[in-house]
């Protein structure tokens, strides 16, 4: 079995990624979302018209920058840059009778029609085309990275425990019971940035003694691209980047610094060229030209002031955007950090993780727009969430055999799952920032009316809560298949053993 093509470890990682991906793509990206539309407008403008100017499409968004007489997306461009070649490849398929046929089908589709707003403008060929591109691009830019991130979490935690079940709890908990689920199939930049940041962390910690020039270059590219996808993650790029430089110095490989910096410089050069052409300078951002958000973006430094109690409460425990009310499972990270420290292992990685988590919380506490507009939870924290889940593995390792821990952990996961899914799936848009208690004003009324987010079940003709039935069936079958394959693999290993090296090796460093 030494050359077995598929190990037990890989089977579990693939199963976790598949479950997260299936749950993500089952629900379509929200239509008429100004945040997503801002990026999609750039994609359409470049592919259809050969320009970054979104003048033809600007009416569908409020997130735009005005330069002279023209309009541009004011978003960090990383996600849209990836969307451009994706749409360019898809476009020939859309130049067929497909759009017209699909439009006619949707116009007469009762289950789909029940999800449309009465005051809306209905279905049109252009809207259907826009929606197809949105679904297609979101799959590659958000859904796949989120699924891959869940698998990476599982693999990274191998250094904490060889047991699969605690790592699976953390990976699936991240993908299905935190606000990451709400944005896993949406054309925002948060989940792409989260994946890139954790990928860089994984690449640095995976057998660091074997890091060569190409991996150092890749880490620089990945961290640079994370920054141009979501600017606030500079607070995460810095500690992860310094961690990489520390590893290179410790290994007495200073040349790796140059490769690492070169990777980031390549991304920075392209980003600065874009800024110069569009906004007039290498460090000029779209946010500085946002026509409708001038006051907010010119408050303090790019909307950042000092941390406030209102923001701290709002981001953590408030009914409005409270992360820990929405996903109380994440509170296990608090004892997790303490247990991680007491374990005296991975001391440097503990420090990097803690700095990343605290830095992003302080950023959100300091933002004049801390609530993030229409949102499920505090969306600015999304890139940090994978790191917040890592300490939970130490809780499961230390106390996982105790009944009280298993019971309370299960209850917190159940609460988080129900809260995240109920808020994410209510209605066809994320909760408005005018609703101070979205649970009472948004979630309950829409679920009571059966107003569930458009999904695969809707296309199959199922309405309301019944549209979730196909997903439940697929998950049940998938769980059975996962267990069956794992048992077969375990039986084979019991007979022959399994060779090969661990997928991740981290040189443990004791804390003093």
Give the pLDDT confidence score for residue 300 in this predicted structure: 57
Q: Is 262 exposed, middle or buried (0-12, 13-18, 19+ CB in 10 A)?
A: middle
Give the pLDDT confidence score for residue 210 in this predicted structure: 85
Give the pLDDT confidence score for residue 254 in this predicted structure: 82
Give the pLDDT confidence score for residue 500 in this predicted structure: 41
Can you tell me the distance from the alpha carbon of 387 to that of 402, in angstroms, rounded to the nearest whole number? Answer: 25
Strand partners, 27: 455
As a 3-state breakdown, the chain gives helix, strand, coil percent values, each rounded to 5, of 70, 5, 30
pLDDT digits (tens, 9 = 90+) for 246-282: 999 988 888 999 999 999 999 999 999 999 999 999 9
SS3 64: strand
Residue 373: CA count within 13 A, CB half-sphere = 9
Average pLDDT, the chain: 90
**Predicted confidence band of residue 206 (pLDDT cuts 50, 70, 90):** confident
Give the pLDDT confidence score for residue 494 in this predicted structure: 56
The reported pTM is 0.92
Nearest to 202 by CA among 185, 222, 182, 184: 222
Please tell me what DSSP assigns to residue 455.
B
**Predicted confidence band of residue 112 (pLDDT cuts 50, 70, 90):** low
Give the pLDDT confidence score for residue 493 in this predicted structure: 59
Of the listed ranges 207-221, 271-285, 342-356, 492-506, the least confidently predicted one is 492-506
Give the pLDDT confidence score for residue 374 in this predicted structure: 95
Can you tell me the distance from the alpha carbon of 183 to that of 195, in angstroms, rounded to the nearest whole number? Answer: 13
Can you tell me the distance from the alpha carbon of 218 to that of 45, in angstroms, rounded to the nearest whole number? Answer: 30
What is the enclosing helix (H) or strand (E) of 485? helix 469-496
Q: Judge whether residue 499 has pLDDT over 70.
A: no
Q: Tell me how far CA of residue 480 lies from CA of 43, 475, 483, 487, in angstroms.
A: 40, 9, 5, 11
Q: Match 């298993």 to its residue by tokens.
A: 406
Of the listed ranges 2-16, 78-92, 353-367, 493-507, the least confidently predicted one is 493-507
**Predicted confidence band of residue 96 (pLDDT cuts 50, 70, 90):** confident
Q: Judge whether residue 361 has pLDDT over 50.
A: yes
Overall average pLDDT of the 159-176 stretch? 96
Instruction: Yes or no: say if 138 and 108 are a contact pair by the CB < 8 Å rule.
Output: no
Instruction: Yes or no: say if 64 and 290 are a contact pair by the CB < 8 Å rule.
Output: yes
pLDDT digits (tens, 9 = 90+) for 217-235: 999 999 999 999 999 999 9
Residues 6+ apart with CB under 8 A from 28: 131, 135, 185, 453, 454, 455
**Predicted confidence band of residue 414 (pLDDT cuts 50, 70, 90):** very high
Give the pLDDT confidence score for residue 98 in this predicted structure: 73
**Predicted confidence band of residue 402 (pLDDT cuts 50, 70, 90):** very high
Can you tell me the distance from the alpha carbon of 143 to that of 247, in angstroms, rounded to the nearest whole number? Answer: 31
**Predicted confidence band of residue 107 (pLDDT cuts 50, 70, 90):** low
Residues 6+ apart with CB under 8 A from 371: 314, 320, 321, 378, 433
| Better pLDDT: 122 or 386 | 386
Give the pLDDT confidence score for residue 229 in this predicted structure: 98
Overall average pLDDT of the 493-497 stretch? 55
Q: What φ, ψ does residue 66 adopt, rounded to 5°? A: -115, 125
Nearest to 200 by CA among 255, 264, 157, 252: 264
Q: Judge whether residue 239 has pLDDT over 90.
A: yes
Give the pLDDT confidence score for residue 491 in this predicted structure: 64
| Length in residues, the chain | 512
Tokens representing residue 400 in the block: 């996982």
Q: What are the domain boundaries of the chain?
A: 8-464
Give the pLDDT confidence score for residue 510 in this predicted structure: 46
Can you tell me the distance from the alpha carbon of 329 to that of 16, in angstroms, rounded to the nearest whole number? Answer: 18
pLDDT digits (tens, 9 = 90+) for 39-67: 999 999 999 999 999 999 999 999 999 99
b/e code 331-348 from CB counts within 10 Å (16+ = b)? bbbeebbebbbebebbbb
What percent of the chain shows pLDDT beyond 70? 89
Please tell me what DSSP assigns to residue 149.
H
Can you tell me the distance from the alpha carbon of 320 to that of 119, in angstroms, rounded to the nearest whole number? Answer: 27
Nearest to 347 by CA among 199, 205, 194, 203: 205
Query: Which range in 252-261, 295-304, 378-387 is most confidently predicted, on average pLDDT?
Result: 378-387
């Amino acid at each position: 079995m030494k050359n077995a093509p598929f190990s037990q470890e890989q089977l579990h990682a693939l199963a976790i990624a598949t479950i997260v991906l299936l749950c993500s793509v089952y629900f379509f990206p929200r239509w008429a979302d100004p945040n997503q539309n801002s990026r999609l407008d750039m994609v359409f403008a470049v592919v259809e018209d050969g320009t970054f100017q979104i003048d033809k499409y600007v009416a569908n968004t409020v997130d735009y920058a005005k330069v002279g007489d023209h309009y541009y997306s004011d978003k960090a461009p990383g996600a849209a840059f990836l969307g451009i070649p994706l749409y360019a490849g898809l476009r020939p398929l859309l130049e067929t009778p497909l759009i017209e046929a699909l439009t006619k089908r949707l116009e007469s589709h009762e289950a789909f029609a029940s999800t449309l707003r009465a005051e809306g403008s209905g279905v049109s060929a252009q809207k259907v085309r826009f929606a197809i591109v949105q679904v297609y691009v979101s799959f590659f830019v958000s859904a796949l990275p989120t699924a891959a991130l869940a698998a990476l979490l599982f693999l990274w935690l191998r250094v904490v425990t060889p047991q699969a079940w605690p790592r699976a709890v953390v990976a699936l908990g991240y993908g299905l019971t935190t606000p990451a689920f709400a944005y896993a199939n949406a054309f925002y930049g948060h989940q792409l940035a989260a994946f890139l940041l954790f990928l860089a962390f994984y690449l640095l910690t995976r057998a660091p003694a074997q890091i060569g020039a190409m991996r150092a270059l890749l880490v620089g590219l990945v961290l640079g691209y994370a920054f141009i996808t979501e600017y606030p993650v500079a607070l995460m790029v810095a500690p992860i980047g310094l961690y990489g430089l520390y590893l290179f110095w410790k290994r007495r490989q200073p040349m790796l610094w140059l490769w690492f910096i070169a990777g980031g410089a390549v991304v920075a050069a392209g980003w600065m060229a874009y800024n110069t052409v569009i906004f007039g300078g290498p460090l000029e951002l779209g946010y500085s030209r946002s026509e409708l958000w001038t006051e907010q973006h010119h408050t303090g430094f790019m909307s950042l002031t000092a941390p406030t109690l209102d923001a701290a409460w709002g981001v953590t425990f408030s009914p409005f955007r409270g992360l820990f009310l929405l996903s109380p499972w994440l509170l296990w990270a608090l004892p997790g950090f303490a247990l991680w420290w007491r374990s005296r292992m991975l001391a440097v990685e503990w420090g990097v993780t803690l700095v990343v988590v605290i830095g992003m919380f302080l950023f959100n506490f300091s933002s004049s727009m801390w609530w993030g507009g229409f949102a499920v939870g505090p969306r600015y924290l999304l890139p940090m969430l994978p790191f917040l889940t890592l300490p939970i593995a130490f809780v499961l390792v230390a106390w996982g055999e105790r009944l009280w821990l298993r019971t309370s952990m299960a209850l917190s996961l159940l609460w988080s799952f129900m809260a995240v899914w109920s808020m994410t799936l209510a209605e066809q848009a994320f909760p408005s920032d005018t609703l101070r208690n979205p649970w009472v004003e948004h979630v309950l009324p829409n679920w009571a009316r059966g107003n569930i987010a458009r999904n695969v079940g809707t296309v199959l003709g199922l309405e309301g809560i019944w549209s979730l039935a196909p997903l439940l069936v697929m998950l049940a079958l998938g769980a059975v298949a996962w267990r069956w394959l794992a048992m077969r693999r375990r039986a084979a290993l019991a007979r022959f053993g399994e060779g090969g090296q661990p997928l991740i090796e981290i040189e443990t460093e004791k804390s003093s």
